[in-house]
Structure 1
């Protein structure tokens, strides 16, 4: 931890409230989506996102490292989730022919079917828990904020 006045590094009360509310709301949204997907379709939100990324990829396949990057998580977490999805028959793993360390993940027909059945659940949840609660103007403002944060993260991750 850098030296200096620790107290001066705390967030101001109003800003602290915004940050805590942001964390609480995002965690609660994730929990609701996760719970409903598990109850209705037997998969987690992370597993759903993996299936979506594979469905959108050429030949419905991605290298494990590319998949981890696209869902913004650690490779070990993707490996764990892919193991669960493979056990359910929703994806298949294949060694990369050009790189013995690489692994390809491919969406199976069963995975595509599960995704197609779960998609309406996600869409209704996005509407019910998120979009129906805000106006079009609020959605535009939120989008501007998200673009600002994404740009800041891009700059930091590029090391600029």
Structure 2
């Protein structure tokens, strides 16, 4: 792969193959984790992530908009997932005392219990499906690549590129 491959409007076949493989692997990994969590603990991976964020938050509570930002998803998607978790009694929603527009979500005791029951499943899956397949050097290289992508995304968050094809942005 040459640098010129990344400049053209269409991806070169070898670059496209890398991108496609990345998407397939990440989607398959997510699907495996999601399926196993649903079978064994009755929650999705996204719901698990919500429970984790709430467990780590002060008073096990977060404003809905902050929760959406923390799991990098749309507010409407978080609302849907929180509604499902609320139906299961794992979280509860409440209005903010200081701001009537603000909606908060709190992890309940049964929610914390479910999280604690599901955590070993997640850890096992991370090892089985992800870490056991690579050695320490590969893990270090992957960490370096993820850092590069993360930095690039941070830069694009600060200076978004244009929406049209081929626009380089300001």
- The Cα of 1:151 is off from its aligned counterpart by 0.3
Q: Which ranges of structure 1 fall in alignment gaps of 5 or more residues?
A: 1-7
- In the other structure, the counterpart of 2:131 is 131
TM-score, structure 2 normalization:
0.89
Paired residues for 1:1-160 under 5 Å: 8-159=8-159
**Distance between the aligned counterparts of 2:67 and 2:79, measured in 1?**
10
Q: CA RMSD in A?
A: 0.8
TM-score, structure 1 normalization:
0.94
- The Cα of 1:42 is off from its aligned counterpart by 0.1
Q: Which consecutive segments of 4 or more residues in structure 1 shift more than 4 A?
A: none
- The Cα of 1:51 is off from its aligned counterpart by 0.1
Q: Which ranges of structure 2 fall in alignment gaps of 5 or more residues?
A: 1-7, 161-170
- The Cα of 1:30 is off from its aligned counterpart by 0.3
**Distance between the aligned counterparts of 1:99 and 1:9, measured in 2?**
47
Q: Which of 1 and 2 has higher RCO (CA within 8 Å, sep 6+)? A: 1
The count of corresponding residues between Structure 1 and Structure 2 is 153
